[in-house]
Amino acid sequence: MESIKVLREICQASRKAGDNWHMKNISRPVSIYITRIFVATPLTGNQITVIFVIMGFCASILFLRGTPVFVLLGSLMLQLWYIFDMVDGEVARYKKQASITGVYFDRITHYIVHPCIFFCIGMGLYAIYDVVWYIYLGFISSLSTILISIVWDLKEAVLSGYPKHVSQKISDPKFGKPASGILKKIFMRIHVLCIFPSIMNIITILAILDFFINMHVMKYFLPAYAFFSTVIWLSRLTIFVKTKKLDREMQS
């Protein structure tokens, strides 16, 4: 069996450029040790993706109970779930099984697991406080976390699949100027906080506070996330359509 250093070169080196801070500093340093175990098994990358999905469902189910203990366990399961999101690709690269199908399968699983997490958080809060609005907030959060991804992923799909020569030239330099300055910076910060892995880390921190200090912060977290995540996808969609940002990118 190769050393960890060699495994990092085989399984992780090609991904460094696209990794976020959490992947580089937390997930990848841990995932390679799990990968080392799985490369010695007959399991494929896609089969490990199935394990990864099951872990996401298990985390969601733990949130259903709503108590501080189960919310903390759910948040810790989420951390392990995110690490396994690295493992499937690393195993596929080691076994030379990496494929577009594997990437597609991995991306689809996020559309499945992410909304389950927030809906179950809402159901868990309902189970504790018997306030039906938490179910609605869980549904809004679930829908919004999907739409944040859809708005961005469809942008990339359209730009990669639409012939450049068909795009109409925009002659008016004043039309659709993108936002700039402090508002743009605030928007981008909120956007980052509303997506994974940032939102997963926020959930974990809040779960720890709830467990040790009994602050009941999760009941404030869900309404806040429902609001800000809705603002994010709706604002980005509005910007793309109103400013014709995609047309500009096609012409650049």
> Is the peptide bond preceding residue 197 cis, with omega within 30 degrees of 0?
yes
Residue 178 is predicted with a pLDDT of: 54
Residue 174 is predicted with a pLDDT of: 46
Phi, psi torsion values for 109, nearest 5 degrees: -60, -30
Residue 214 is predicted with a pLDDT of: 83
pLDDT tens, the chain, 252 aa long: 789 999 999 999 999 888 999 999 999 999 999 999 999 999 999 999 999 999 999 999 999 999 999 999 999 999 999 999 999 999 999 999 999 999 999 999 999 999 999 999 999 999 999 999 999 999 999 999 999 999 999 988 888 876 655 555 544 444 455 556 898 899 999 999 999 999 999 999 999 999 999 888 999 999 999 999 999 999 999 988 988 878 877 776
Which H or E run contains 141? helix 133-161
Provide CATH code, domain 4-251: 1.20.120.1760
Residue 164 is predicted with a pLDDT of: 58
- Is the separation of the CB atoms in 92 and 44 below 8 Å? yes
Residue spans of the domains in the chain: they are 4-251
Residue 180 is predicted with a pLDDT of: 62
Burial of 171 (0-12, 13-18, 19+ CB in 10 A): exposed
- Is the separation of the CB atoms in 135 and 129 below 8 Å? no
